[in-house]
Structure 1
Amino acid sequence: MNQSTTLTEKDVAIDLLTSSKATVTTLAKAITETTNPQLRDTLRNQLTACVNSHCRLSDIAINKGWYDAYATPEQQLQKDLSEISTVTQ
């Protein structure tokens, strides 16, 4: 089997989007559990910055055709399966 180990820009962008979503979730949870007002403000500012960055990255991925945010789950699954079959050949 001949597999490529080179990361593409798409791979990096999708990985960043996944990481960004996890960060947004973690920050949102931390805000709800924080009682210190100054820490809550700091976390809220970080959450806002992270959401803004995620939106910019999402826009780039959508515009480049790396991420189809408007496809149905079935269409997304079919695309993923198609990409997997080309990698494993």
Structure 2
Amino acid sequence: MASILENIFGQNMSKPTDETIAYNLMAGAAAAATAYLTATLDTVTPELRRLLNDYTNQIILQHGTLTKLAVEKGWFLPYETPMKQLQISLANTQSIIENNAQ
């Protein structure tokens, strides 16, 4: 049985690319780091603060590793001009729209 997303976006929804997976993992890591940092700052128990701080640091390292992978693979181009980055994003978006229209 096809999912709703497959019906809307086509059959390629069930085959995420490495790039998409990496973006999702980075977004999740960023959200988790924010949550752990907030919890670390709000807690007053030294033991719990240390534990939450350790989790925050682990997630930051994970995010850094994923970012490094994305740069090495060419998925992120941090040293391009902002205009070039927008052009690349626009081209990628147009490609996705064209593939889904078929």
The amino acid that maps onto 1:76 is: Q
Quote the residue 2:73 is aligned against: 64
CA positional deviation for 1:74: 3.5
Stretches (4+) displaced over 4 A: none
**Aligned twin of 2:38:** 29
C-alpha change, 1:16 and 1:82, in structure 2 (3 Å) is same
| Larger gyration radius, structure 1 or structure 2 | 2
Q: How much identity, in percent, do the aligned residues show?
A: 28
Deviation at 1:16, TM superposition (A): 0.5
Structure 1 position 72, deviation (Å) = 4.0
Shift of 1:37: 0.9
Question: 2:60 matched to 1:45?
Answer: no
Partner of 2:85: 76
Out of 9, 12, 15, which is 1:4 matched to?
12
TM-score w.r.t. length of structure 2? 0.77
TM-superposed CA distance for 1:3, in Å, is 6.3
**Pairwise CA RMSD:** 1.8
Shift of 1:26: 1.1
TM-score computed with the length of structure 1 as normaliser:
0.87
Which string of whole-angstrom CA distances, capped at 9 and with x for unpartnered residues, describes residues 47-75 of structure 1? 11111111111111110111123334433
Q: Identify which of 8, 12, 16 aligns with 2:25.
A: 16
What runs of 5+ residues in structure 1 fail to find an aligned partner? none
Matched AA of 1:68: L
Unpaired stretches in structure 2, ≥5 consecutive residues = 1-8
Paired positions, count: 89
Paired AA for residue 78 in structure 1 = Q
